[in-house]
Structures are given as structure tokens and as C-alpha cells.
């Protein structure tokens, strides 16, 4: 490829075929351009920064050696895919990162044939890759050095300590039974989202420190004669090139899974990466290539604090020779996560039986504060939500009061534990569900749209939602004393509203709603035209809607507080008075709070035809700002106004809602 001074190599990469036409000596410059492009964009929009900076050379080398328009590339985890997207023709979409006008921050098959799965949860890459490897084998398309040298190869790129996830362990166990080419590239950066936890993380720390290339070469052939499956791996050894042979890891934990293990190698040295991947490409047995990288590589502030720059908001860097470097991260106000961090810290000070944990999200959930303050009563378990919830069940059984702080999207992975080890046992484990509802730029892979529907099925569960900081504090206090079973409070990735600042927040009472519009305190004296029952932060939008409709309709607004049990007495009173009811929630219309209201009405044999439900549509909402997503879903103030007018002005028993329209369902 000819080079004109001043031109950008990245501008010429419309696909990996352009990359493969470059001389290797140009690739370091390309890597620098990719880093610069990612840094500039994330400074403007926010996004996953440190994970992507760490895999630039590794991604270039993978696309240089393999042809992933035909071969298979699976990501685990998906947030390390920005360089991959820039190399597969999506550089023009970078300016719209994490919006509907640009590229998703995760692999997205709708964008490119190079993305095979939408990937937002850790641990899945090896298992899906095993499935594709078996599929290609069954269809006769797999690579075989003798019978089908032009066949498909399979690669999975594992990073940010997702290898410790239980699903990854299951995938490794099965990968070792494959009698074909299968490559796991372990991007070992010594980090998860934050500092990795557990014995396996400790093992990798020791490998990074203790193994030199000479150590790894020593005894490799002897090892092959005695490990399980040694005959299989010995054959792979003889087919490997000299560099791969020299770095066969004699003490590898992966070899217990019958996986030939090579490395660790330098994940930022392109010639070494390309040479090793070229050799690994033609080994027709499952293997692991252990690659050492630096999370945040190329940006000093991200290298120094990879946790803070894992997925920052938009930020600005000011550098001064005398004052040094100052980073200003865009702030939109006090977050629910910050409010939770203060509240759980205060609660644990007041109650010595309270304990807390999170699964690899100490900063994202606010648990980092109590990890420092109460190191004997707070834990980060690493990327293992199922284990974390079972551990909390064990603590509950021994008389403690466990609080598990978890993103809604990741709680789904521990539903079996919520059922078997918590609810079935009648144990009072407390779920603090961050990122409930729509999450903005992370998009469909991270929306917390089904936690209420899942947890409502569990007998004895108490499911609450916060509308602001005082109500979050009150919900946690209710949960602290709730001993009848599982309890949960959900709150969004958003700033806390100050609308009710200065007003007293009454304590939570099981199954009781809170009236937010005092003028309707006595329904005998003043009957509203419409009653809105809002679950969680949409209550604030409902109050705005009521204000804007004042003079047109009288709208009473309740903070429902509970999706289980709902306030059956209130629901019964409203329906018997024939007051139209609108339910609104930041949750799927399927199985959520609105469904719970209908269930309660039907149990009382009441007519439900005047209930209008507003919630997230039964469809995927893609990446964009949370405000835009709420507008699309119709759960913002404008959407609530439309629902109120519909409820007040029509007597229709059902509505046919277009796929693209907000969900307003009369029942």
C-alpha cells in the first residue's frame, strides 16, 4: 500500500482485506491512529475506554492473520470490540458511538457480518464458539489441515477476567473434547471491570510474574507425555512452529481441560502476535494463547486508573507543566448509585448484622465505599452473580442481613439462585437493583427490562422501587427489617430528582402506595378524572404530566412503591369508583407492574377495562440516550400525557399499538 505523508492509514481501512495488504511495519502507526480515534470519541460521548485501548494490537493481529468474513470470531466480553469495529468498515459510525445514528458499543450483527452475536454479558464466548465449531464440523465446513485446508477456523477473544465466570468454565470443559482447530485467545490484563477477585485471578498474577520464556520451554516435551490427553496434545506440539513450542506452558491450568496452552506473550508487540497467531491458526486441536496486555494502553490516565476509565462519561483532560494533569469528567448531577452508596454505608454503620456484596461492579454499584469502610462485611466476588447470590443466602442462613448490589441485566443470571437458594428457603436476602429499566448508550444488551416480571413469580418476595433519594433510603430501611423472604429495590441509571426535596418521605409499608398529589387525599371530596399509579421514577414524570394537564384534567398520582404486593385496597377503591387508571413503569409491558395491577383487580372480580398500561414495548430498544429511549418507549412526561388523555377520553377495551409506537394498552 502506498503511503502519502499526512494521510491517515485508518481512513484507508474499509475492511480487513485493506489491513492485510499493509506491510507489518505500518501496523504500529495504524494502532496509534486507532487509539487516538477511540480516545477522542470517548472523550466526547463516553464509552468503554480502557478495555478497548488494551486490545488494539491484538485485534489488528487477529484480523491480519485470520479472515473473519469466513472464519468465526466470538467476543467475551463484548465491550472490547471498538478496534474490531474500526477495522471492519465501521469507522464512519464512530462519531455516533452508543447512539441510534452510530455504532453500538457491543458486537451487533445488524451492523456487520463480522459480528456474530450481540454480546453484553461475560462468560458466553467460549460456549457459543464451541457451538459454532461443532456446527461447522457437522456441515463439513471446518478447517482440517489435510481434508479441508480452506475450512473455517474458530477463535474466541476472552478478556477482562470473564474467564473466571462459571459459564466460561463450562465452555472450557466442553472445548477440550473438540477434535479440531479451536483457539481461545486469553487477553490477560490483570483486571476485570475493577481489580479481579478470587483464586483464579491469583493464579494469573503468579503466571505473569513468574514465567519467563525460558521457564516455559523447559520440560515441554516431558509434560506432553504425562498430562491427560497428552497424546492428542503431543500431535499438536509436533505441528506447531518453533515459537509456539518454546512457549508451551508446562504448568497451565488450562491443560487440565485438555487444551494446549501457549504463553504468556506480549500482547502489544505486533510481530510476535502475528507470528504466534499464524502458527496457532494451523494447529488442529483446541488451544489457549495467553496474551499479556495493559488495560488502558496508550493513555497514561487510563493506565494509571483502569477502573475509573473502564467506561467513563465524557471527559476533558487538561495538562499543564506546573500543575500536571487534571481530568474533568462530565457530571449530570447526583446519581442513584451515589445515593445508594451513601445509604448502604449509613445502614451498615447502624446495623452490625448488615453485610453487602457485588459481582465485579464495586464502582458501578457504589459498593466500593463499604468495601473500604467494612472490609470484613463487604465483598466483591468477581464476575459470578450466581455464586454471589448463593453466598448471600448462606449469610442469611447464619443470621446476617445480606444486601446484594447488582445491575438488573446481570441479576437475570442469578434468577435460579433467587428461586432455589433464597425464595424457596424463605431467606431474607435483599437485592439492590441498579440500572433498572432503560440504560442509555449500552443499549439492548444491558436494559433492565424484566427483573420485576421474574421476581414477581417468587412467593414471599417484596418488590419495591425508588423515585428519588429519600425514597431509596426508605426502601433500604424497609428491606433491612423485612424478614419474610426475598426483597428488592430497583432504581435507574439516572440522576435523582429534587422535585420532592424538603417534603417528608413516609416509611415504606408493605403493599402500600404513597399519594403524591395531596389535593386528592379524600376521593369523596374530590374525584380525579384519571388516577396514575407509577412504579419507580416514572412517578416524577407523572407529576409533571399532571401539572401540565392542570385545568384540562384532574390527575391524581400515586407512587406505587410495590409491584409485589401491590396496593390492592387502593386499586379496588379506584376501580369501584370507575376512575380510569393509568399504570406506568420503566419495565417491560409484559409481566410488570401494570400486569400486577390487573392481576389484583381480577382477583377482586373487578372490571379492568378502564386500566391503561404504559411500559416498555415488547421489542428491543437499541442504544441511544436514556432520554431518547424513554421518549421512544412513551414513558416520559409526554408519553404519560398521551396515556392520560387516552384513558380519560376513550372507552375502548383494547388498543392496537403499531410496533414503533409507545406502548399504551387499555385492558
Map 143-201 to HEC letters: CECCCECCCECEEEEEECCHHHCHHHHHHHHHHCCCCCCEEEEEEECCCCCCCCCCHHH
Q: Which residues contact 226 (CB under 8 A, 6 or more apart)?
A: none
Q: Is 295 a catalytic residue?
A: yes
Q: Which residues contact 32 (CB under 8 A, 6 or more apart)?
A: 298
Q: Is 413 a catalytic residue?
A: yes
Q: Give the separation between CA 559 and CA 540, rounded to whole angstroms.
A: 9
- Choosing from 413, 561, 564, 626, the catalytic residue is 413
The set of cell numbers assigned to 51 is 478495555
- Give 346-362 as a DSSP string: HHHHH-TTEEEEESS-H
CB atoms within 10 A of CB 9: 19
Q: Which residues contact 500 (CB under 8 A, 6 or more apart)?
A: 467, 468, 470, 516
Distances 160 to 50, 194, 195, 206, 338 between C-alpha atoms, Å? 10, 9, 10, 17, 24
Instruction: Report the first-to-last Cα separation within the chain, whole angstroms.
Output: 64
Residue with cell 403493599: 511
Nearest to 574 by CA among 553, 595, 597, 541: 597
The angle at the Cα of 576, spanning 573 to 577, to the nearest 5 degrees, equals: 85
- Choosing from 85, 98, 118, 295, the catalytic residue is 295
| Residues constituting the chain | 667
Q: Give the separation between CA 618 and CA 443, rounded to whole angstroms.
A: 15
Helix axes 27-45, 270-281, angle to 10 degrees: 100
Residue 41 in contact with residue 97, Cβ under 8 Å?
yes
- Choosing from 385, 421, 469, 665, the catalytic residue is 385
Q: Do strands 72-76 and 154-159 pair parallel, antiparallel, or not at all (unpaired)? A: parallel
Residue 663 in contact with residue 588, Cβ under 8 Å?
no
Residue 489, classed as helix, strand or coil, is strand
Residue 25, classed as helix, strand or coil, is helix
401 strand-pairing partners: 354
Q: In this structure, is the dihedral angle defined by the CA atoms of residues 522, 523, 525 and 526, taken in order, positive or negative? A: positive
The set of cell numbers assigned to 496 is 435523582
Q: Give the separation between CA 663 and CA 615, rounded to whole angstroms.
A: 6
Active site residues: 295, 385, 413
Amino acid at each position: 500500500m502506498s503511503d502519502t505523508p499526512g494521510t491517515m492509514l485508518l481512513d484507508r481501512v474499509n475492511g480487513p482485506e485493506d489491513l492485510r495488504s499493509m506491510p507489518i511495519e505500518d501496523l504500529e502507526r495504524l494502532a496509534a491512529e486507532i487509539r487516538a480515534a477511540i480516545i477522542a470519541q470517548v472523550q466526547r460521548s463516553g464509552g468503554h475506554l480502557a478495555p478497548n485501548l488494551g486490545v488494539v494490537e491484538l485485534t489488528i493481529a487477529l484480523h491480519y492473520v485470520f479472515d473473519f468474513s469466513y472464519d468465526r470470531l466470538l467476543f467475551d466480553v463484548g465491550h472490547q470490540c471498538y478496534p474490531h469495529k474500526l477495522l471492519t468498515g465501521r469507522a464512519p459510525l464512530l462519531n455516533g458511538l452508543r447512539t441510534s445514528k452510530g455504532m453500538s458499543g457491543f458486537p451487533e450483527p445488524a451492523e456487520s457480518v463480522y459480528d456474530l452475536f450481540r454480546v453484553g454479558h461475560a462468560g458466553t464466548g467460549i460456549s457459543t464458539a464451541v457451538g459454532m465449531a461443532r456446527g461447522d464440523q457437522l456441515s463439513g465446513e471446518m478447517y482440517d489441515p489435510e481434508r479441508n485446508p480452506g475450512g473455517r477456523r474458530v477463535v474466541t477473544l476472552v478478556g477482562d477476567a470473564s474467564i473466571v465466570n462459571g459459564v466460561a468454565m463450562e465452555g472450557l470443559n466442553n472445548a477440550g473434547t473438540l477434535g479440531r482447530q479451536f483457539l481461545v485467545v486469553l487477553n490477560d490484563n490483570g483486571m476485570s471491570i475493577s481489580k479481579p477477585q478470587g483464586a483464579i485471578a491469583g493464579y494469573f498474577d503468579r503466571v505473569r510474574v513468574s514465567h519467563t520464556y525460558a521457564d516455559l520451554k523447559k520440560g515441554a516435551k516431558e509434560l506432553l507425555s504425562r498430562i491427560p490427553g497428552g497424546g492428542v496434545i503431543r500431535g499438536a506440539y509436533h505441528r506447531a512452529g518453533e515459537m509456539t513450542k518454546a512457549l508451551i506452558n508446562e504448568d497451565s491450568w488450562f491443560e487440565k481441560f485438555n487444551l494446549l496452552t501457549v504463553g504468556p506473550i506480549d500482547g502489544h508487540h505486533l510481530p510476535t502476535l502475528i507470528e504466534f497467531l499464524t502458527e496457532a491458526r494451523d494447529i488442529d486441536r483446541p488451544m489457549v494463547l495467553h496474551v499479556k496486555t495493559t488495560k488502558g494502553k496508550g493513555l497514561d490516565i487510563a493506565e494509571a486508573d483502569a477502573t475509573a476509565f473502564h467506561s467513563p462519561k465524557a471527559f476533558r483532560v487538561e495538562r499543564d507543566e506546573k500543575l500536571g494533569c487534571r481530568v474533568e469528567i462530565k457530571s449530570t448531577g447526583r446519581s442513584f448509585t451515589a445515593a445508594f452508596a451513601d445509604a448502604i454505608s449509613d445502614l451498615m454503620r447502624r446495623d452490625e448484622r448488615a453485610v453487602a456484596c457485588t459481582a465485579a461492579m464495586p464502582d458501578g454499584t457504589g459498593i466500593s465505599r463499604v468495601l473500604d469502610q467494612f472490609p470484613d462485611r463487604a465483598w466483591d466476588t468477581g464476575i459470578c452473580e450466581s455464586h454471589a447470590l448463593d453466598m448471600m443466602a448462606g449469610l442469611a442462613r447464619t443470621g446476617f442481613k445480606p444486601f446484594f448490589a447488582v445491575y438488573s441485566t446481570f441479576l437475570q443470571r442469578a434468577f435460579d439462585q433467587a428461586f432455589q437458594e433464597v425464595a424457596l428457603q424463605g431467606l431474607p436476602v435483599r437485592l439492590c437493583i441498579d440500572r433498572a429499566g432503560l440504560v442509555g448508550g449500552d443499549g439492548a444488551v444491558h436494559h433492565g427490562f424484566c427483573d420485576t416480571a421474574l421476581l414477581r413469580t417468587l412467593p414471599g418476595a417484596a418488590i419495591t422501587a425508588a423515585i428519588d433519594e429519600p425514597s431509596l433510603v426508605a426502601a433500604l430501611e424497609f428491606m433491612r427489617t423485612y424478614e419474610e423472604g426475598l426483597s428488592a429495590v430497583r432504581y435507574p441509571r439516572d440522576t435523582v430528582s429534587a422535585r420532592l426535596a424538603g417534603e417528608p418521605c413516609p416509611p415504606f409499608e408493605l403493599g402500600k402506595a404513597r399519594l403524591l398529589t395531596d389535593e386528592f387525599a379524600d376521593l369523596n371530596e374530590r374525584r380525579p378524572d384519571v388516577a396514575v399509579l407509577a412504579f419507580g421514577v416514572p412517578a416524577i414524570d407523572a407529576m409533571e404530566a399532571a401539572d401540565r394537564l392542570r385545568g384540562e384534567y384532574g390527575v391524581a398520582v400515586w407512587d406505587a412503591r410495590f409491584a409485589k404486593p401491590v396496593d390492592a385496597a387502593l386499586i379496588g377503591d379506584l376501580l369501584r369508583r370507575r376512575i380510569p387508571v393509568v399504570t406506568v413503569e420503566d419495565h417491560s409491558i409484559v409481566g410488570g407492574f401494570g400486569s400486577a395491577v390487573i392481576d389484583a383487580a381480577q382477583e377482586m372480580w373487578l372490571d379492568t377495562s378502564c386500566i391503561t398500561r404504559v411500559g416498555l414495548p415488547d421489542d428491543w430498544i437499541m442504544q441511544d440516550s436514556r432520554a431518547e429511549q424513554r421518549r421512544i418507549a412513551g414513558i416520559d412526561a409526554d408519553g404519560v400525557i398521551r396515556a392520560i388523555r387516552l384513558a380519560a377520553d376513550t372507552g375502548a377495551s383494547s388498543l392496537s399499538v403499531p410496533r414503533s409506537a409507545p406502548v399504551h394498552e387499555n385492558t
